[in-house]
Amino acid sequence: MAIAKHRPSRIVINETAIYQNIVNEKARLTDGTDLFMVVKANAYGHGLIQVAAIAVRAGATGFCVAVLDEALALREAGFTQPILVLGITESQNAALLAINHISATVCSLAWLKNASLFLDAAHVKLPLAVHLGLDTGMGRIGFQTPTKLSLALAYLKTTKQFKFEGIFTHFSKADSTETGYFEKQLKRWCAFMTVVTNRPKYVHVSNTATSLWHDTCNGNLIRFGVGGYGLNPSGVDLEAPFVLQPAMRLESRTVFVKLLKAGQSVSYGATYTAQEDEWVATVPIGYADGYRRQLQGFHVLVDGHFCEIIGRICMDQLMIRLPRQYSVGTLVTLVGKDHGQSISLQAIADYCGTIHYEIACGFTDRLPRVYQN
């Protein structure tokens, strides 16, 4: 997708906010605890390479990604820190993982045996670092029972093709005020760990939510994700132990302003008809940019005023009702602060009936990312 550099719509990333969120989180950690910044999905829409550089400056010691290609992009950009691929990588890519010093998540003995064959075929002498994933209740990926985990551990002791670098799980309700399911998962984690006689370098269970509200479980590594971008993983249910500073701003400018006469309609389907004469502006951003079509009736900020989005949001444009006439080129804030007012990703998510993660990740590459201190 081409980046639309020649229009005024853009995402502005506050580097200082990301830096400070990481620094504040690191200050809470016990000595010897590593922080890996989670930069999957283009760093939650904030920009993979740029965020990785900020994270290193702030003291992150490694990275977590979702897919191998994200890890390779980091290596190609010159990052030498440890990288863990949290998703399952096909065993046929074992050599690529090992050669690039990228750690793999492993969830079955079969994967290890298949990967061994591919490592042999590629004549790779370097050991492949692996983190064994445990399913304690997330129900996504991971070893299902201590017995199956024991078989994999035994296999790892028989070969030098793999380095047992880590073991981990993922809590599904660490961001909830109800802690019963969290405790259930923690109990299962402890049952799994009874069969791990020789612990690896990294033992980790904490995503952002676990680290913020269950930090006694941190182990010696946390996977700092959405909190690094200044977003509360619980939405509004739980208050974070320090102020999270949102890093993403979405802004544009008016490109056309007109007086809409009473009785005239706006956009596809003519779903909005003016009841009286009103000033209307067109803003060059739409659902192809990830600004969702269902945000019709929501608002943006112009000169500190909340201005309703009228008519259906188009692929590339949307229309807003102004409180008065403004000139073409007036700043429009879709996410962020303006004249003491603000629109958060959480507010947009609430309107759409989803979570702020999805909104942030949904902004497409057509929107330029601009980085400011």
Same domain as 108, residue 20: yes
- The whole-number pLDDT of residue 237 equals 86
- The whole-number pLDDT of residue 305 equals 98
Same domain as 203, residue 109: yes
- The whole-number pLDDT of residue 324 equals 98
Residue 359 lies in a domain: no
Residue 200 lies in a domain: yes
- The whole-number pLDDT of residue 230 equals 98
> How large is the angle between the packed helices 15-28 and 48-58, nearest 10 degrees?
40
Percentage above 70 pLDDT, the chain: 100
- The whole-number pLDDT of residue 236 equals 83
Same domain as 182, residue 264: no
Boundary of a domain, candidates 229, 264, 289: 229
64-80: per-residue pLDDT in tens?
999 999 999 999 999 99
CATH number at residue 310: 2.40.37.10
Q: Provide the H-helix boundaries in 29-145.
A: 40-44, 48-58, 68-76, 94-99, 109-121
Residue 236 lies in a domain: no
Sign of CA dihedral 318, 324, 327, 332: negative
Same domain as 125, residue 210: yes
278-295: per-residue pLDDT in tens?
999 999 999 999 999 999
Quote the domain boundaries for residue 253: 248-343
pTM of the model: 0.96
Same domain as 270, residue 223: no
Rounded to a whole number, what is the distance in angstroms from the first to the last CA of the chain?
27
Same domain as 106, residue 201: yes
Residue 45 lies in a domain: yes
The residues carrying an active-site annotation are 40, 268
115-174: per-residue pLDDT in tens?
999 999 999 999 999 999 999 999 999 999 999 999 999 999 999 999 999 999 999 999
Residue 41 lies in a domain: yes
218-267: per-residue pLDDT in tens?
999 999 999 999 999 999 889 999 999 999 999 999 999 999 999 999 99
Residue 368 lies in a domain: no
Number of domains into which the chain is organized: 2
